[in-house]
């Protein structure tokens, strides 16, 4: 068999098609437009208040308006509210932007919906989705930042719970920052900054808002942000490369810094080991290219990846090189950093949670112990040509005071453990193999140094694997109790 891995070319990966939507979220511009509301009761009054808050001129038709509607007509939150003390008529719907009705009787609801359709007006009938062209959902209001939440009527209480979570998470001060963005946008456009520099302005604006949401934005803040943007304009035009650790697979283990890098990238070069759910955090318009390197399978050449990365950065693109785990641990980051520096390209590294940390955390097994296990070592299970490395420190691997983690050991774990035992490693030293660490299909195989290779082979695991061995896994049986861990894990 050839020592060289099969080659493949970098390939753009188009984002997956949008999954089915129960409702299309649309934000209507209603300022100064006519909205019709028919019926009475607290729910009707609330819909009239929402429409007025959005700037609509609301006409309410109710023969016997409730107290909430009468009070609302005298104290409106936005657009005018005019109360008609009579039942609605089909002619009332003419020239309305939207129509909302509240009726207990289905026949009246159907008549209202039919009249709206005849007039070309979208209709909402409260609590009767059969007759609705649109729904309101529940709202988190930091206007002009507005978040709408809908369950398509399936679980309104659940939507309210989600809203409560978001209300707690999103500072009220964000409303001031969103208002400032609206005020400043034209000034930024007229500033003479390039497109790339303007984007850098809004990134700094956002970072400022997130870091200090309760600060009241002022003219001095705008002036300072524009000045800082001008200072960084050359860097914004020059392009850059950021090596980002995507973690072992679970999207929830992505760091905040990695998330910000993904959301500012123009192009993402990613490996096969990166979970596709993580790519969902990137800007949808960012180009995504698979430059996978897979052991014993078709792989993109490293020099080709380097050349592509540099060419893209030199064209002014913000390039994210997204790697599974941590880019500085068996990720060939050194070669990519050196190539960028040689080309004069700005390069940054965003660390990630390496697979060993993710797997150990999921098993709740510490990788060191205070008195007995004071050293942790990561080694690679194969050399450049795919065989067992010929320069491993076998005395270190035989040390009972160390925990060893073997990356990429699928083909060589048998030879590695046999050699380590011959060099003094206890054959009954506990060993654990973990495939697909932290992912829903994670699999854990327990054994000893003497039999872990056979156990792994018996399972026929082809997914990315780590092998751990050390005294810390003496109690792994207890940690591997499926009832004590998330149900998505599988144990042999």
Percentage of the chain exceeding pLDDT 90: 69
- Domain annotation covers residue 401: yes
Choose the catalytic residue: 221, 266, 271, 326.
271
Task: Band the pLDDT of 238: cuts 50, 70, 90.
Answer: confident
Answer yes or no: is 255 within a domain: yes
Domain boundary, last residue among 353, 371, 405: 353
CB 372 within 8 A of CB 361: no
**Where among 353, 371, 387 does a domain terminate?**
353
Determine, yes or no, domain membership for 458.
yes
Q: What is the pLDDT of residues 137-152, one digit of tens each?
A: 899 999 999 999 998 8
- Phi, psi angle pair for 35, to nearest 5°: -125, 140
The predicted structure's pLDDT at residue 480: 47
346 and 372 inside one domain: no
Q: What's the pLDDT band for 485 if we cut at 50, 70, 90?
A: very low
If asked whether residues 249 and 274 sit together in one domain, one would say: yes
Domain annotation covers residue 153: no
Residue with tokens 């978040």, as numbered in its chain: 147
Distance between CA atoms of 125 and 115, rounded to whole angstroms?
A: 12
Return d(Cα 226, Cα 32) in angstroms, integer.
34
The values of phi and psi at residue 308, to 5°, are: -65, -45
pLDDT of residue 199: 86
Asked if residue 340 and residue 243 are part of one domain, the reply reads: yes
The Cα–Cα gap between 235 and 347 comes to 12
Number of domains composing the chain: 4
Q: Which domain holds residue 86?
A: 34-136
Residue 12 has pLDDT above 90, yes or no: no
Q: Mark whether 191 and 277 lie in a shared domain.
A: no
Strand pairing report for 465-469 and 430-435: antiparallel
Give the Cα separation of 243 and 116 in Å (integer): 55
Kindly state whether residues 371 and 486 are assigned to the same domain: yes
Q: Which of 450, 458, 454, 459 is nearest to 427 (CA)?
A: 450
Are 38 and 81 members of one domain? yes
Task: For residues 390 and 484, state if they share a domain.
Answer: yes
Same domain, 429 and 483: yes
Q: Can you give the pLDDT at residue 236?
A: 66
Q: What are phi and psi of 119, to 5 degrees?
A: -90, 0
Is 165 annotated in the active site? no
Both 114 and 47 in one domain: the answer is yes
Residue 51 lies inside a defined structural domain of this protein:
yes
Residue 147 included in any domain: no
Q: What is the pLDDT of residue 492?
A: 43
Domain final position from 295, 322, 353: 353
Tell whether the model's pLDDT for residue 487 goes beyond 70: no
| Closest among 47, 38, 126 to 89, alpha carbons compared | 38
Q: What percent of the chain has pLDDT over 70?
A: 93
Assess if residue 150 is contained within a domain. no
Q: Check whether residue 290 and residue 408 sit in a common domain.
A: no
State pLDDT tens for residues 378-428.
999 887 777 888 899 999 999 999 999 999 898 899 999 999 999 999 999
Residue 344 lies in a domain: yes
Q: What is the pTM of this model?
A: 0.71
Q: What is the pLDDT of residue 119?
A: 97
CATH classification of the domain holding 127:
3.40.50.720
Q: Which of 47, 128, 288, 293 is catalytic?
A: 293
Q: What CA–CA distance (Å, rounded) separates 362 from 319?
A: 31
CATH number at residue 441: 3.30.950.10
Examine the domain organization and report whether 57 and 75 are in the same domain.
Answer: yes
Q: CA-to-CA distance for 147 and 141, rounded, in angstroms?
A: 7
CATH number of the domain within which 328 lies: 3.40.1010.10
Please indicate, yes or no, whether residues 369 and 435 belong to a single structural domain of this protein: yes
Q: Answer yes or no: 481 catalytic.
A: no
Torsion of CA 378, 383, 387, 393, to 10 degrees: -50
């Amino acid at each position: 068999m050839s020592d060289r891995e099969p080659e493949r070319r970098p390939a753009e990966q188009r984002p997956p098609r949008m999954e089915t939507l129960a409702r299309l979220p649309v934000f209507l511009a209603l300022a100064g437009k006519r909205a019709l509301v028919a019926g009475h009761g607290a729910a009707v009054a609330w819909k009239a208040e929402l429409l007025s808050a959005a700037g609509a001129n609301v006409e309410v038709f109710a023969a016997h308006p409730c107290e909430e509607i009468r009070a609302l007509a005298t104290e409106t939150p936005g657009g005018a509210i005019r109360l008609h003390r009579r039942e609605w008529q089909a002619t009332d719907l003419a020239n309305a932007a939207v129509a909302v009705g509240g009726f207990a009787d289905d026949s009246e609801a159907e008549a209202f919906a039919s009249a709206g359709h005849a007039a070309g007006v979208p209709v909402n009938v409260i609590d009767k989705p059969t007759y609705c062209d649109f729904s309101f959902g529940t709202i988190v209001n930091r206007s002009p930042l507005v978040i709408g939440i809908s369950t398509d009527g399936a679980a309104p209480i659940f939507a309210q719970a989600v809203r409560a979570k978001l209300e707690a998470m999103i500072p009220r001060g964000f409303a001031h920052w969103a208002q400032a963005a609206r005020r400043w946008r034209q000034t930024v456009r007229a500033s003479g900054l390039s497109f790339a520099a303007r984007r850098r302005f809004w990134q700094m604006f956002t970072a400022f808002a997130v870091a200090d949401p309760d600060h009241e934005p002022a003219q001095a803040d705008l002036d300072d942000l524009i000045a800082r943007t001008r200072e960084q304009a050359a860097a914004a035009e020059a392009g850059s490369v950021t090596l980002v650790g995507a973690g072992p697979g679970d999207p929830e283990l992505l760091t905040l810094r990695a998330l910000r890098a993904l959301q500012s990238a123009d192009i993402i070069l990613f490996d096969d080991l990166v979970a596709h759910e993580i790519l969902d955090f990137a800007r949808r318009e960012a180009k995504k290219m698979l430059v996978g390197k897979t052991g014993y399978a078709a792989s993109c050449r490293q020099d080709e990846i380097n050349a592509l990365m540099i060419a893209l950065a030199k064209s002014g693109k913000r390039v994210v090189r997204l790697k599974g785990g941590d880019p500085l641990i068996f990720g060939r980051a050194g070669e990519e950093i050196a190539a960028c520096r040689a080309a004069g390209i700005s390069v940054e590294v965003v660390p990630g949670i390496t697979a060993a940390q993710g797997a150990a955390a999921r098993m709740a097994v510490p990788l060191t112990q205070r008195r007995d296990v004071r050293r942790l070592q990561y080694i690679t299970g194969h050399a450049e040509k795919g065989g067992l490395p010929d320069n491993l420190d076998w005395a270190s691997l035989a040390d009972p005071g160390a925990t060893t983690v073997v990356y990429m050991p699928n083909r060589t774990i048998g030879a590695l453990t046999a050699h380590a035992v011959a060099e003094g490693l206890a054959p009954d030293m506990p060993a654990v193999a973990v495939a697909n660490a932290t992912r829903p299909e994670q699999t854990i195989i327990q054994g000893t140094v003497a039999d872990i290779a056979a156990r792994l082979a018996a399972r026929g695991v082809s997914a990315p694997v780590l092998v751990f061995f050390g005294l810390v896994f003496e109690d792994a049986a207890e940690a591997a109790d499926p009832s004590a861990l998330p149900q998505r894990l599988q144990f042999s």
